Amino acid sequence: MFCISINHKNTPADVRESFAFSTKGQRQFTERLKAAVGGCVVLSTCNRMEIYFTDKCEPCGPVITGKMSSGEASGGRGGLLEQVEMLLANDRDVPVSLIRRYSMNYEGFQCMLHLCRVACGMDSMVLGEVEIIHQVKSAYLVAKKLGACDGELNIAFQGALAAAKAVATESDTTRLPVSVGTLSAREAVNFTRNGGIENTCRDVRSDVVSSSQVESVDAEKANTGHILVVGATGKIGSIVVKDIADLAPDIEITGTSRSHHSADSIFDRHQQIRIEDYSRRYELAAWADVIISATSSPHYTFVRDELAEAVKMQPKRRLLLDLAMPKDIDPSVSEVDGCVLRDIDYIRTLSRENNENRAKTITEMEPWLISQVDEIMKNIAFSRFNREHGDVMAKLKTIDGAKLVYKLKGQLEYEAFEKMLDSIVTAGCEN
């Protein structure tokens, strides 16, 4: 199993934007890719684009463990990596050199470990976030529905999701769920409560206001503010809206949606939330202190000239948070007087406190996760052996155990043979 990963760790948002897939694009690329590989799953979120794939003719034998560089992509397995890179470059209309500059490539055990770390929220921009579990599961189910998953990927993703579920229910890392949405909600409340003089007006490297500070503000003394969320019924947008409502009952929230019926069912318990049609977004922007955009639209939700015209009669500082990938808001909007524009990478600065608190717990979990990966890899190896050598498995049922051990003595080196004998003793004691 292999992985090509382009993620937040070493790839800026404007580059990640080139590799972001819409739901339709994800399906179309999966259909094209599956003809060239044994199986494939395409994961696309605001912070990463990853392709997990297998060879059509994976040999049964020792699994190479390690991270491959793009420079190793020549011949054999490297040839397959190179082929997938070319398919991705053609689909995204980018030079393959851009992929090789930013991608992190994994193989074998390290690939499985990376997948588990991703699914468990241990590789996220916001450590311990739980939304990634649903995103990984969704990517897997899409590939499975398209017939793109082979046996190895089925075992791999089912194992990774099982590990993620265990982390989500038993670990301290997700006891207080934090995500891009919740951190964005806190930042929006900070800005609104402080009258536009807040973290985003300072250097992005400076400390941010913590959640405890937000919650300690006396609601009676706070000025009522106005927040607009475009894409309020989407996955991220709905999280943002609900979190703002819970953090600040005094703040008025307007969400835009193309379907009022679905919005009403999502926000029916929150009296402070009203839903308007998406077409009114510029009119509503003039009223808002904070504008958050989190849609899957292929076009900008806000462009400079239209926004400048809409807000000129109500001049004030406004925070615009663009949580979409590809971007929702035209970058030149930052040139509009009073507008402070931040994209998804700004969340990295907001997540600093959260990540520092959870880093130790995640480090302590690493041995457990490696043991889970080891078990998954053994399941993959056994499944592959059973599939490719069913006749041998049938014959093993008729061979005397002692005779088999004696034959293996002539095939294995000393250390491997001794480990096998120890395993036989352990297994025998358990039975």
The DSSP call for residue 171 is -
Give dist(CA 91, CA 35) in Å, integer.
Answer: 15
| Contact by Cβ (8 Å): 11, 47 | no
pLDDT digits (tens, 9 = 90+) for 282-307: 999 999 999 999 998 889 999 999 99
- φ, ψ of residue 328 to 5 degrees: the values are -90, -35
Determine whether 414 is exposed, middle or buried from the number of CB atoms within 10 Å of its CB (0-12, 13-18, 19+): exposed
3-state secondary structure of 296: coil
- For the chain, give me the number of helices (H) and strands (E)? 18, 11
Residues 6+ apart with CB under 8 A from 14: none
Specify the amino acid at residue 225: G
Q: pLDDT-based confidence at 389, cuts 50/70/90? A: confident
Q: Which two tokens stand for residue 431?
A: 């039975």
The pLDDT value given to residue 407: 82
Give dist(CA 143, CA 403) in Å, integer.
Answer: 45
Specify the amino acid at residue 249: P
- φ, ψ of residue 389 to 5 degrees: the values are -135, 50
The pLDDT value given to residue 305: 97
Give dist(CA 187, CA 321) in Å, integer.
Answer: 9
Q: Spell 200-212 as b/e; 16+ CB within 10 A means b.
A: beeeeeeebbebe
Structural domains in the chain? 2-176+362-382 (3.30.460.30), 180-350 (3.40.50.720)
Give dist(CA 303, CA 367) in Å, integer.
Answer: 48
Q: Looking at per-residue confidence, does 383 or 111 come out higher?
A: 111
The pLDDT value given to residue 175: 56
| Contact by Cβ (8 Å): 291, 285 | yes
On the question of pLDDT at 62 being above 50, the answer is no
Work out the number of other CB atoms within 10 angstroms of the CB of residue 68: 21
Q: Which two tokens stand for residue 224?
A: 């009522």
For 123-166, give the DSSP string.
SSSSTT-SHHHHHHHHHHHHHHHTT---HHHHHHHHHHHHHHHH
The pLDDT value given to residue 74: 37
The pLDDT value given to residue 257: 86
Q: What's the 3-state SS for 212-249?
A: HHHHHCCCCCCCCCEEEEECCCCHHHHHHHHHHHHHCC
Give dist(CA 355, CA 384) in Å, integer.
Answer: 38
pLDDT digits (tens, 9 = 90+) for 125-163: 988 888 899 999 999 999 999 999 999 999 999 999 999
Give dist(CA 108, CA 289) in Å, integer.
Answer: 49
On the question of pLDDT at 67 being above 60, the answer is no
Instruction: Name the most confidently modeled range: 18-22, 54-58, 75-79.
Output: 18-22
pTM exceeds 0.85 = no
